[in-house]
Structure 1
Amino acid sequence: MNNKEVSIIIPTYKDWDRLSLCLNSLKEQSYNPELFEIIVVNNYAEDKIPAGYDIPQNCKVITEKTPGSYAARNTGISLSTGSIIGFTDSDCIADKDWITNAVKFLESNDCDRIAGRINLYYHSKKLTEAELYEKIYAFNQDIYVNQDGTGVTGNMFSYRHVFDKVGLFREDLLSGGDYEWSIRARDAGFKIEYVDNAVINHPARHNLSELISKAKRVGGGQAGFGKPEGKNKFKSIINLIYDLRPPVKSIRLIQKKGKDLRLAEKILVFYIRYYLSVITAREKFMVNLGKTAQRN
């Protein structure tokens, strides 16, 4: 497992069943298994590998006790050998050409990072309220790349030299660490491109409670972006008022991605968007005032 071309890093937290599906998809990759390694980072030390668990030959499972997926990813990076580092999550299933298409694009284009397409799959044909929301808002990688020069670690590849230059993920963030790192990479001049045929499949969140948990986690992460000296009560109140604005700009996205939705469903998605933005804003405000950010 030395000097691999590609290292795939997967943090996991009490998720062995879904990780098994992820690893099975990596066993079926068209990319030569002798040229990539898989590093699974278990982020819950008390949760041991289940008996008889199937681990691919090019995969190793390690443990990182520091809470948070970014601490886990950093540990994986530090132990990896690839000149290209790829990331996905334990609940994701990779298309068989995922690594092949990502590497081919990186090697034939003038860029240092890529964000691949993330397809959602659903529990049933009739979408729940949460799934309707996810259909519009989840993992719009092309938008992230074009608007901010960022990409999420559910499907992201980068040359190692980018990490050597800009550093690792911030381990104190329990959410938004991929965004914060991407901004550093962008500002350092490392180009990113969106790659439509480097595909990861991700389950849509099924229940509103899952969306609420994520909204709180995102709020805590956003609070962590600020400088400590800037977290005074007055500034936090001003930021809260700003963050509580109705998300009017999202109407355009709902119209674009929700062409097959009924008007009532579009209105529902907008309401959920606003509701979650309020939850995120409140959590960000509370963490800025001293509350501990939650992993959820």
Structure 2
Amino acid sequence: MSGRPLTIVVPVYNDPEGVKRTLHSLDSQWVPDISVAVVDNGSSDETHRVVKNFAPTHIDLCCRSESTIQSSYAARNTGIRHVDADVIAFLDADVTVADNYFDRALAHLERNDLDYLGCRVDLTIPDGQHTRTARYNAHTGFPIQQYLDRHRYVPTCALFVRREVFADVGLFDPRLISGGDMEFGNRVDATEYDMGYCADAVASHPVRTSLRSLYGKNVRVGRGHCQLQRYYPKRYGEPPIPPRHEPLDVETADLSIDDRLAFGALSTAMTAARASGYARELLSPSDTGADVDGPPSL
């Protein structure tokens, strides 16, 4: 191998507590030569100080900055460019991982000769925050295998990619507010790299407990859908008709009648949020990465 076997890239923006939890989780891992690159995307709070002052025991930690483009995908690209690992893993700044997460993921990657790997993500509800919104978010979940099987991508909260893939197909598209993980995964799939899923490597992602937060996320998703069509009409269709995706399966058998009714109402509200974001982006396009023509090269 030319460099380290593995580096974890963690983008962060104004989330000191989230990135602290993630770093403590990573520092508990006993993986040889593990390195972590945290990329601060122009935080205006104490996030950068928290990362700089973190004293790791088992991991080699470095902190980079990406302040030119306000985009988690731009931050990930900065991390990719500054590491020399053969495999690059991605986690979000509020994600924690189970013991042997990296051992199991890398073993699965090597055993099956894969180039692109998604891992299981469990959504967790913080103590004392079992709101209906939180329970709805946990119920709809992060069905990573369905994302991979039906939409041909893995969210960047639990993704492993060989460096050679980035060298071949390019990096993430920093112009996208949302959907950059899907666009990249679809690009990888189109070049026929081997993609897979590892259910034994588990990451934990906290749910959104407030309606405002969940609604805001879906607005961003809607805006991302519109951007995908603007930049990639041959793949995702042209505005003003939003792209259609094969629906995901969500179990409802264990829900009470009250929860079924409430979750149905929340699902309708989230659909409206995505439509609102789509319309907003259609009428007033964002200028994120305005000087970028597309996915940059490695």
TM-score of the two chains, using structure 2 as the length reference: 0.86
Distance 1:51 1:69, change over 3 A: closer
Do residues 141 (structure 1) and 121 (structure 2) align? Answer: no
Structure 1 vs Structure 2 CA RMSD: 2.5
Supply the distance in 1 between the matched residues of 2:51 and 2:178 (Cα, whole angstroms): 31
Supply the distance in 2 between the matched residues of 1:227 and 1:45 (Cα, whole angstroms): 29
1:292 corresponds to which of 263, 271, 286:
286
2:31 corresponds to which residue?
31
**1:279 offset after TM fit, Å?**
1.5
Q: Which moved more, 1:53-62 or 1:139-148?
A: 53-62
Contact 1:36 1:82 (C-alpha < 8 Å) held by counterparts: no
Supply the distance in 1 between the matched residues of 2:72 and 2:120 (Cα, whole angstroms): 21
**1:1-296 alignment, distance < 5 Å:** 3-32=3-32, 35-44=33-42, 46-47=44-45, 48-50=48-50, 53-56=53-56, 57-65=59-67, 66-124=69-127, 127-227=130-230, 236-237=239-240, 239=241, 253-254=249-250, 256=251, 258-292=252-286
Q: Which runs of 5+ in 1 are unaligned?
A: none
**1:50 offset after TM fit, Å?**
3.7
Supply the distance in 1 between the matched residues of 2:3 and 2:55 (Cα, whole angstroms): 20
The amino acid of 2:64's aligned partner reads I
**1:185 offset after TM fit, Å?**
0.5
- Give the number of equivalent residue pairs: 278
Supply the distance in 2 between the matched residues of 1:229 and 1:3 (Cα, whole angstroms): 34
Contact 1:92 1:203 (C-alpha < 8 Å) held by counterparts: yes
- Deviation digits for residues 236-270 of structure 1, max 9, x if unmatched? 44x16x87xxx9966xx34x2x4332022022212
Supply the distance in 2 between the matched residues of 1:51 and 1:112 (Cα, whole angstroms): 30
Q: Which moved more, 1:51-60 or 1:159-168?
A: 51-60
Supply the distance in 2 between the matched residues of 1:261 and 1:180 (Cα, whole angstroms): 34
More helix by share: 1
Q: Which runs of 5+ in 2 are unaligned?
A: 289-298
SS, match of residue 49 in structure 2: coil
**1:101 offset after TM fit, Å?**
0.7
**1:63 offset after TM fit, Å?**
0.8
**What is the aligned-residue identity percentage?**
26
Distance 1:39 1:128, change over 3 A: same
SS, match of residue 123 in structure 1: coil
SS, match of residue 154 in structure 2: coil
**1:227 offset after TM fit, Å?**
3.1
**1:165 offset after TM fit, Å?**
1.1
The amino acid of 1:263's aligned partner reads I
- Deviation digits for residues 152-206 of structure 1, max 9, x if unmatched? 0000001111111110000001211111100100111012111111111111111
The amino acid of 2:41's aligned partner reads N
Supply the distance in 1 between the matched residues of 2:133 and 2:266 (Cα, whole angstroms): 8
Supply the distance in 1 between the matched residues of 2:178 and 2:51 (Cα, whole angstroms): 31
TM-score of the two chains, using structure 1 as the length reference: 0.86
Supply the distance in 1 between the matched residues of 2:191 and 2:247 (Cα, whole angstroms): 29
Q: Which moved more, 1:134-143 or 1:97-106?
A: 134-143
- Deviation digits for residues 41-68 of structure 1, max 9, x if unmatched? 0011544414982242501011110201
